[in-house]
């Protein structure tokens, strides 16, 4: 088992095909998988202009505003009509939805989780106070604000915009914020 640490600012930025923003991929599993055959994928996107989201049949998605003015998400069939304008409020939708995103006030940054429905599902929680996270074989923790002490098989410290992810090891975590304004995203994956 290896803990894979990351700093958001060190992740390579990949421009979107439509020029509407950039994506910083945190993890894509299994290793070497592409956009058509991943089991789960986590990234941070900067949305710089309005436009359509890519379609991902068989994939469930969670999008969470990190900062910026947010976007209005609408599907062609009217099933999705959501203002993503409150930071750290995850929104779930399916990859089959034909979503158009319209910027509300300037660009924004979003935390994105995609899971292949036939393989696994995701649970994303926003943590603001000390708590314990039950054991999961795959997951990711990212400090959005403040610093955090994490305890599992070893003790870890995460500063704002730092995180870690793991696979194939059942890890439970004790999370302790080090400041009153701290916020952390806790993602766990559940395999079918």
User: In this predicted model, what pLDDT tens digit does every residue of 118-158 receive, in sequence order?
Assistant: 999 999 999 999 999 999 999 999 999 999 999 998 899 99
pLDDT of amino acid 143:
98
Residue 185 is predicted with a pLDDT of 98
Tell me the average pLDDT across 159-179. 96
* pLDDT above 80 for 3: yes
Q: What is the pLDDT of residue 121?
A: 97
How large is the average pLDDT for residues 177-184? 95
Strand ranges across the sheet with 91-94? 13-15, 21-29, 40-47, 108-116, 59-68, 91-94
Predicted confidence at residue 34, as pLDDT, reads 87
pLDDT recorded at residue 154: 86
Domain with CATH 2.60.120.10 in the chain: 11-116, 120-191
Query: Over the chain, what is the mean pLDDT?
Result: 94
CB 130 within 8 A of CB 175: yes
pLDDT tier at 103, thresholds 50, 70, 90 = very high
pLDDT at 59 over 90: yes
pLDDT at 17: 63
pLDDT tens for each residue of 5-58:
999 999 999 887 666 778 999 999 999 898 889 999 999 999 988 888 888 999
Closest alpha carbon to 82 in 95, 70, 66: 70
182-192 pLDDT per residue, tens: 999 999 999 99
Looking at the domain 11-116, which fold is it? Jelly Rolls (2.60.120)
Domain 120-191, CATH: 2.60.120.10
Cα distance between residue 47 and residue 162, in whole Å: 21
Tokens linked to 183: 């916020």
Q: Are the CB atoms for 191 and 149 separated by under 8 Å?
A: no
Q: If DSSP codes are grouped into helix, strand and coil, which group holds residue 191?
A: strand
Tell me the pLDDT tens digit for each residue of 79-89.
999 999 999 99
């Amino acid at each position: 088992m290896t803990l894979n640490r990351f700093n958001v600012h060190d992740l390579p930025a990949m421009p979107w095909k439509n020029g509407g923003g950039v994506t910083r991929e945190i993890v894509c599993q299994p290793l070497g998988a592409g956009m058509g055959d991943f089991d789960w994928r986590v990234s941070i996107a900067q949305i710089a202009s309005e436009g359509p989201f890519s379609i991902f049949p068989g994939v469930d998605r969670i999008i969470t505003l990190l900062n910026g003015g947010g976007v209005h998400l609408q599907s062609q069939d009217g099933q999705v009509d959501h203002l993503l304008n409150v930071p750290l409020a995850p929104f779930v939708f399916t990859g089959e939805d034909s979503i158009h995103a319209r910027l509300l006030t300037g660009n924004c940054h979003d935390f994105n989780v995609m899971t292949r429905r036939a393989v696994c599902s995701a649970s994303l929680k926003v943590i603001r106070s000390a708590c314990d996270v039950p054991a999961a074989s795959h997951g990711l923790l990212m400090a959005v604000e403040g610093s955090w002490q994490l305890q599992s098989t070893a003790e870890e410290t995460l500063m704002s915009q730092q995180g870690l992810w793991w696979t194939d090891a059942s890890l439970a975590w004790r999370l302790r914020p080090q400041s009153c304004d701290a916020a952390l995203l806790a993602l766990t994956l559940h395999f079918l």
